[in-house]
Chains A and B, each alone.
Chain A
């Protein structure tokens, strides 16, 4: 006869990551559900757990988050039972006391029961073998063709039996699961995870489709001309008599705010665009120096618009000008460029 520690109660604390490791090690004790792991109803009895001490200890060791707890009691067992002692249990014993949570077990038959935490044995890691928890994770992940973590919906037949009972009538481990099940959808085929993923995808695609549609509609806007928002390019700038006093080389700035300088050249009256041909600044008319001078980069233009200094590459542009019922009308949508020889076009000036 020899003394051996026997597990009389096993339970799972919060924090299970449903990795399947424990069920792989002790399938008749642990039942991994979608969100947590439960102890199977049979395993709530100590007669059931005692002979499975080794596999439970193994499962506890392999648990990567150490949530499997159990109470042990030392009992004398037949030598035969000791013939193949669990190395894991033996190794775990010396280090059992240190970080063990105190497991109050008032209903324990043996007063000598000690709370025992499945601390991973240092001996194992020193031996060079990888962490048993990692091994178990790998084993569980590859079990059932790699589908171990999925395809599990309602657990075993026990779970189905529980689902018929009221939560209060259930053993404590199943109670949590029962309550948790209440939060799921009625349809057994719909899991919370699946519902979340599905609705996220639906929202995402709907948003994508909606955005695409809205931007598609908005894009139509760019295909249409901005006619309504554009001020009339034709402006009236008074009568010819207004400019009769001007001598050639003189500049009238009255219409600068709407983008036109009225200029006089030999025998001609023309409308000059005020935009600098370098980078689009508005030059100033310096009457004393008799030139247009851009304040941004120093381009200079003669009174007739010809560039002569600074970086401007070409003369100022002239607008179409015409006489309608005695009123001078400048059409800013039609421009005449000197370098293209367009200033000779009769639309670009009025003869005076």
Chain B
């Protein structure tokens, strides 16, 4: 409470001194995509490292209060307010709180369990028999949940006046044209990859990868009880894949993507005409023009079409990424795991891992260095 009072007072002081704009500008600056992304990764890393201390109820409560105050103060900004009160975006606020709560809940129990294990005490789940019968217990609960959920959605739709927009006009797209909030992460991917990769291959890999998880990961630890210490790699991968590559990208799409699909700070006015330089360059241009000081090849060589010859550096990089890197990782970082799970499962795991890692790599390259495509063969719809 005292901290929250202090922050309130601090906020008022800032208001009084006219420093509000400075704070807003600072936050806008931090919310540039590359900084925001790096910050998210950093926060996640710090959280995973210090989960035992950071999930203490007092710390969690403080974080909750601090975040709520920050969010509430942000709502005093007209531009931010216009984003969060848009009926489409109300679920985002709910999502942020809910995911924060559930992440905390899971890690809190993991922290207690890990400590119990170290000191030889029984797990939280020890001796508990919370099995219920499908009929009637589970079916009744599901029925009640279904009814309540329907009621909730109907009330929500009525209260928020679920937005139905004007009839579609094929010559007029809303600006920005946003996917439903839960697909904003996928829409974000479309900026960085060829549509069939971002829209078909990557979502397919997500689904296939999730199906494959039980076959790749046969480690029985953590079955039926919370733990982080025993499953660091698996849970960290989940945190990267879900929290950063799904939730953070949804937050990106909601708060930071404005008209013309440009990045805007959360307190920035969505100006349709704000100039934004997105002069992106391909790896082939960097290689042939900047490094070799010659023009981009227009003639094929060695029997290759000119566009394949042009993109050779990118093709080599990608082949190295997908076929040499796994071997290098196998004998270094993943040596122990590779020994444990065998060649086939290691190969599948590392492929899924590398595909997942490719997404943030590509994004950071785009934001930081205006990097467009590693391999840009438009002729074959192969823009990587």
Select one of B169, B176, B193, B378 contacting A314, CB under 8 A. Answer: B378
Contacts of A298-343 to chain B: CB distance below 8 A: 298, 300, 308-311, 313-314, 339
Contacts of B195-236 to chain A: CB distance below 8 A: 195, 199
Contact at B177–A288, with CB atoms within 8 Å?
no
CB of A56 to closest CB in B, whole Å:
42
Is A178 part of the contact surface with B, judged by Cβ < 8 Å? no
Contact at A295–B280, with CB atoms within 8 Å?
no
A4 — which chain B residues lie within 8 A by C-beta?
A: none
Which of the candidate stretches A5-13, A232-240, A275-283 sits at the interface with the other chain?
A: A275-283
Contact at A279–B195, with CB atoms within 8 Å?
yes
Select one of B169, B273, B376 contacting A289, CB under 8 A. Answer: B273
Contact at B272–A311, with CB atoms within 8 Å?
no
Contact at A308–B194, with CB atoms within 8 Å?
no
Is B332 part of the contact surface with A, judged by Cβ < 8 Å? no
Contact at A295–B259, with CB atoms within 8 Å?
yes
Is A274 part of the contact surface with B, judged by Cβ < 8 Å? yes
Select one of A256, A310, A314 contacting B261, CB under 8 A. Answer: A310
A297 — which chain B residues lie within 8 A by C-beta?
A: 187, 190-191, 261
Contact at B280–A309, with CB atoms within 8 Å?
yes
Q: How far is the CA of A278 from the CA of B198 in the complex (A)?
A: 12
Q: How far is the CA of A296 from the CA of B261 in the complex (A)?
A: 6
CB of A16 to closest CB in B, whole Å:
31
Instruction: Select from chain B the residue with minimum beta-carbon distance to A300.
Output: B278
Contact at A298–B191, with CB atoms within 8 Å?
yes
A296 — which chain B residues lie within 8 A by C-beta?
A: 173, 176-177, 187, 190, 261
Contacts of A2-43 to chain B: CB distance below 8 A: none
Contacts of A246-282 to chain B: CB distance below 8 A: 256-259, 274, 278-279, 281-282
Contact residues of A: prevailing secondary structure: loop
Contact at B172–A309, with CB atoms within 8 Å?
no
Contact at A295–B261, with CB atoms within 8 Å?
yes
Instruction: Select from chain A the residue with minimum beta-carbon distance to B190.
Output: A297
Contact at B173–A309, with CB atoms within 8 Å?
no
Contact at A295–B174, with CB atoms within 8 Å?
yes
Is B119 part of the contact surface with A, judged by Cβ < 8 Å? no
CB of A71 to closest CB in B, whole Å:
43
Select one of A259, A278, A288, A309 contacting B278, CB under 8 A. Answer: A309
Is B262 part of the contact surface with A, judged by Cβ < 8 Å? yes
A256 — which chain B residues lie within 8 A by C-beta?
A: 171
Contact at A259–B171, with CB atoms within 8 Å?
yes
Contact at A284–B191, with CB atoms within 8 Å?
no
Is A201 part of the contact surface with B, judged by Cβ < 8 Å? no
CB of B256 to closest CB in A, whole Å:
12
Contact at A282–B172, with CB atoms within 8 Å?
yes
Q: How far is the CA of A297 from the CA of B272 in the complex (A)?
A: 14
Select one of A282, A286, A300, A310 contacting B173, CB under 8 A. Answer: A282
Is A69 part of the contact surface with B, judged by Cβ < 8 Å? no
Q: How far is the CA of A297 from the CA of B257 in the complex (A)?
A: 10
Contact at B195–A298, with CB atoms within 8 Å?
no
Q: Which of A281, A282, A284, A311 has the most CB of B within 10 A?
A: A311
Q: How far is the CA of A93 from the CA of B352 in the complex (A)?
A: 73
Q: How far is the CA of A295 from the CA of B176 in the complex (A)?
A: 5
Contact at A282–B171, with CB atoms within 8 Å?
yes
Contact at B173–A281, with CB atoms within 8 Å?
yes
B376 — which chain A residues lie within 8 A by C-beta?
A: 313
Instruction: Select from chain B the residue with minimum beta-carbon distance to A275.
Output: B170
Contact at A279–B176, with CB atoms within 8 Å?
no
Select one of B177, B277, B378 contacting A313, CB under 8 A. Answer: B378
A298 — which chain B residues lie within 8 A by C-beta?
A: 191, 260-262, 278
B199 — which chain A residues lie within 8 A by C-beta?
A: 279
Contact at B278–A310, with CB atoms within 8 Å?
yes
Instruction: Select from chain A the residue with minimum beta-carbon distance to B174.
Output: A295
CB of A339 to closest CB in B, whole Å:
6
CB of A341 to closest CB in B, whole Å:
11
Q: How far is the CA of A278 from the CA of B373 in the complex (A)?
A: 14
Is A293 part of the contact surface with B, judged by Cβ < 8 Å? yes
B132 — which chain A residues lie within 8 A by C-beta?
A: none
Q: How far is the CA of A281 from the CA of B192 in the complex (A)?
A: 17
Contact at B279–A308, with CB atoms within 8 Å?
yes
Instruction: Select from chain A the residue with minimum beta-carbon distance to B376.
Output: A313
Is B383 part of the contact surface with A, judged by Cβ < 8 Å? yes
A283 — which chain B residues lie within 8 A by C-beta?
A: 173
A278 — which chain B residues lie within 8 A by C-beta?
A: 190, 195
B191 — which chain A residues lie within 8 A by C-beta?
A: 297-298, 310-311
* A contact residues vs B (CB 8 Å cutoff): 256-259, 274, 278-279, 281-284, 286, 288-289, 293-298, 300, 308-311, 313-314, 339
The 7 closest A-B pairs by CB, nearest first: A298-B261, A309-B278, A295-B175, A293-B260, A313-B378, A296-B177, A282-B173
Query: Apart from A282-B171, A311-B193, what are 17 other A-B pairs with CB-CB below 8 Å?
Result: A257-B171, A258-B171, A274-B171, A278-B195, A279-B195, A281-B173, A284-B260, A293-B260, A296-B177, A296-B190, A297-B190, A297-B261, A298-B262, A300-B260, A311-B383, A313-B194, A313-B378
Q: List 10 A-B contacts (CB under 8 A).
A: A282-B172, A288-B273, A295-B175, A295-B260, A296-B177, A296-B261, A298-B262, A298-B278, A310-B261, A339-B379
